[in-house]
Amino acid sequence: MRWLRSFLSSDVLAGEPRDVVLIEAVLAASKLSIPFLTLYLVQARGFDYATAGLFVAIRGLGGLVAVMLAGALADRFGEKPVVLTLLAGAGLSAAAIPQLHSTHALLLGFFLLGAFVNAVQPAFSSLVVRAIPVRQWTEVYAAEYWALNVGFAFTALVGGRVAVFAFDWLFYLEAAGTFVALGLVARILPQTRPRPQAARPRKPRRSLRSRSRRALATVSLAARDRLAVVLISSSLLFSMCLSQMTGTLPLDMEASGYSPDFYGYVIFWNGALLTVFQIRAGRAIARRRGMRILARAATVAALGYGLLALPHQHLVLILACLTIWTIGEMMDAPVRNAVVSALAEPCSRARYLGLLSAALTLGYCIGPWIGGWVLQVVGREALWLGTAACALLCGLIRRAITPRVERRMALSRQASLGSSGRG
């Protein structure tokens, strides 16, 4: 435990953001159902693999819709009331899932659960920004990311044991943990008020069509940037690959005779690797060329997915493959946002990052659906070889556009230095 004490006392958690770490860890640890959704749908509800993937996609769709609304609601009504409302909705939705017996009601329940759970994170991050001094933002976000990985590792370890006992209790315990997080937010974090709006001349109400046109215009600049669109599309492909860890890997292990707790141990290994090495890996990678790292990340992950197609599903092989693609994930995560941000002008970075976030969410939404269908119709070898091919295609795309992206990033740095020199 000496390494853990030294880590907790290091600059990773400097600035005393312990309240944020505590709440974020509880939030992540309470999401017990996420890694086991497909197993629950197949074993407890009797759905086939493709239908289970569809349910996970519906849950992701709810999250995609809600994430786009959460920021606007937080700005209008204040972050803390919105976070508390979303947490209450997430807890109630989780508790209701085992009580929904018809397919249509269960689909609606999954949509609402995904909406409430996914909308919490951006609103909570905004609340943290309002509650923490600017000088501590970097430390707080590093601690927040670390706490998410700790919570995920806990979820994997405990959730597997709970699933062996009774799948329904995954949702009941998730609801209980969510209400604990609600109580912590209500007690610890300060109240916030809506941001004041500057006084502006009264304008006539826009029609629904004009408001829709204006909303589309907010992302049109990024969407017209072909280089950025290609790069973001490669991240969509990569997120579809990463989604197989919680989408089809549990189904594949179940078909090979492994119980849910063994699957829990496997994905605990993923969370443990990220917890211990992610921040240090990010610091080492920061000194290297971002696009080359992104291309190598996808190629490394492709190797892990491809090896998983081997016929002998020994637990050691599964852990080795998971380790390989987790290394690819660690290489990709810290660089992706930085490269996309560097492609954008300062005034349009939010739009570029918004497109990236939407692409990642879409990948995690449709990846399990496609993977479940392939596993059911074609087989496990096709699933993992196809996933490896998808990751390799991502790496090839990134490699092909690397010279153009690096030239553009160099021009952006020169322009930034020139403007700062004139200032």
**Chain centre distance of CA 363:** 10
Query: What confidence tier does 315 reach under pLDDT thresholds 50, 70, 90?
Result: confident
Residue 205 is predicted with a pLDDT of 52
Residues 190 and 310 placed together within one structural domain of the fold: no
Q: What is the average pLDDT across 85-112?
A: 93
**Residue 17 pLDDT greater than 60, yes or no:** no
Is the domain of 162 the same as that of 288?
no
Cα(258)–Cα(275) distance, integer angstroms: 25
Q: What is the pLDDT of residue 394?
A: 96
What's the pLDDT tens digit per position in 31-70? 888 889 999 999 999 999 999 999 999 998 888 888 777 7
**Residue tagged 């979820």 (tokens):** 155
Q: Do 116 and 164 fall into the same domain? A: yes
Pair 20, 98 in one domain: yes
Please check whether residue 344 lies inside any domain of the structure.
yes
The pLDDT score that the predictor gives to residue 375 is 94
- pLDDT of 11 above 60: no
The arithmetic mean of pLDDT across residues 152-179, rounded, is 88
pLDDT tens column, 121-146: 767 766 666 666 655 555 565 566 67
Pair (289, 357) in one structural domain? yes
The residue among 154, 173, 194 that closes a domain is 194
Query: What is the 3-class SS of the chain, one letter each residue?
Result: CHHHHHHHCCHHHCCCCHHHHHHHHHHHHCCCCHHHHHHHHHHHCCCCHHHHHHHHHHHHHHHHHHHHHHHHHHHHHCHHHHHHHHHHHHHHHHHHHHHCCCHHHHHHHHHHHHHHHHHHHHHHHHHHHHHCCHHHHHHHHHHHHHHHHHHHHHHHHHHHHHHHHCCHHHHHHHHHHHHHHHHHHHHHCCCCCCCCCCCCCCCCCCCHHHHHHHHHHHHHHHHHCHHHHHHHHHHHHHHHHHCHHHHCHHHHHHHCCCCHHHHHHHHHHHHHHHHHHHHHHHHHHCCCCHHHHHHHHHHHHHHHHHHCCCCCCCHHHHHHHHHHHHHHHHHHHHHHHHHHHHHCCHHHHHHHHHHHHHHHHHHHHHHHHHHHHHHHHCCHHHHHHHHHHHHHHHHHHHHHHHHHHHHHHHHHHHHHHHHHHHC
Q: In this model, does residue 296 exceed pLDDT 90?
A: yes
The total number of structural domains in the chain stands at 2
Q: Are residues 295 and 386 in the same domain?
A: yes
420 within some domain: no
Report yes or no on 8 lying in a domain. Answer: no
In this structure, are 278 and 394 located in the same domain? yes
- Which residue has better confidence, 222 or 23? 23
pLDDT of 4? 42
- pLDDT score at 415: 63
Range of weakest confidence among 7-11, 24-28, 160-164, 287-291: 7-11
> Which domain, by its residues, includes 347?
225-413
335, pLDDT greater than 70: yes
CATH number of the domain enclosing 370: 1.20.1250.20
- Looking at 102-111, 269-278, 385-394, which range is the least confident one? 269-278
Q: What is the pLDDT of residue 193?
A: 58
Q: What is the mean pLDDT of residues 182-191?
A: 80
Same domain, 325 and 382: yes
User: How confident is residue 419, by pLDDT bands cut at 50, 70 and 90?
Assistant: low
Give the range among 75-84, 104-113, 291-300, 377-386 with minimum mean pLDDT.
Answer: 75-84
**Residue scoring higher pLDDT (209 or 290):** 290
Which of these three, 171, 194, 217, is where a domain ends? 194
In a shared domain, residues 137 and 257:
no
327 and 283 within one domain: yes
Kindly report the average pLDDT of the chain as a whole number: 80
For residue 282, tell me if it sits in a domain.
yes
